[in-house]
Chain A
Amino acid sequence: NAGVMQNPRHLVRRRGQEARLRCSPMKGHSHVYWYRQLPEEGLKFMVYLQKENIIDESGMPKERFSAEFPKEGPSILRIQQVVRGDSAAYFCASSRGTGGHQPQHFGDGTRLSIL
């Protein structure tokens, strides 16, 4: 499968635990984006990364959330001390470059449930 790979598909955490979501972009793609989808809503942009750099994190909550895209390995979205309101679907997308002429291709998402 040459598409964007996200794991796990489903993640259950108790309040106060940490959640780590992983995203491997499509082959040849060096741009990664994270979006959050709350129930019955559209996707909301969180963060845009290139290898080892955060380019735009204007959609990230100021506390508890962080993202990285190391030189080797997948991009990680990390949520510390999770709360019920973090329950959502988190989608990763990747593209070959910037600009709308390089469309973003999405993974299947990670459904995060907080008990």
Chain B
Amino acid sequence: AQTVTQSQPEMSVQEAETVTLSCTYDTSESNYYLFWYKQPPSRQMILVIRQEAYKQQNATENRFSVNFQKAAKSFSLKISDSQLGDTAMYFCALHSTEGSGDKLTFGTGTRLAVRP
């Protein structure tokens, strides 16, 4: 079974500062994908960034980057130059093709507040 753990229910950061959100996971698969999704107050689910487990290089998307530590099964999200629009719930997700499946397993989320 796949599990995803986000141990920080809430985080706060000053505008323009940097913040890191933590995520750990467990899977028996050798190749898999990890994602960060953002859910703003409008409650849409927006894909922020994706990491392929067999790639050692950490993914980056503009102000968003990840620190992927495969041996430690850790996948943290770093947001640089935080903006007010970054205020949202952030969910870490693990993609699994276990069995006949093709699904995402989500963590419980981290609520990020960006202070002006």
* A interface residues (Cβ-Cβ under 8 A, vs B): 31, 33, 35, 41-45, 48, 55-56, 58-59, 89, 91, 93, 95, 98-101, 103-106, 108-109, 111
Contacts and interface: CB of A to CB of B under 8 A. Distances in A.
A79 B33 CA distance: 31
Given A41-B108, A106-B44, A108-B43, A98 B102 contact: yes
A45 B104 contact: yes
B57 interface: no
A48 B98 CA distance: 13
Interface string B90-116: 010001010111111111110000000
B35 interface: yes
Nearest to B106: A42
B32 A42 contact: no
A44 B108 CA distance: 10
B47 interface: yes
12 contacts: A31-B102, A33-B103, A42-B107, A42-B108, A43-B106, A45-B103, A48-B101, A56-B100, A100-B50, A101-B52, A103-B47, A106-B37
B84 interface: no
A89 B108 contact: no
Given A98-B97, A100-B33, 5 more contacts: A100-B52, A103-B47, A103-B50, A108-B44, A109-B45
Interface of B: 4, 32-33, 35, 37, 42-47, 50, 52, 91, 95, 97, 99-109
Q: Does more than half of chain A's interface fall in helix, strand or loop, or is it mixed? A: strand
Contacts of B100: 55-56
B102 A48 contact: yes
Given A89-B43, A101-B52, A106-B44, A42 B101 contact: no
A106 to B, nearest CB: 4
A53 B94 CA distance: 24
B45 A91 contact: yes
A64 to B, nearest CB: 21
B32 A100 contact: yes
A102 B103 CA distance: 11
Nearest to B94: A100
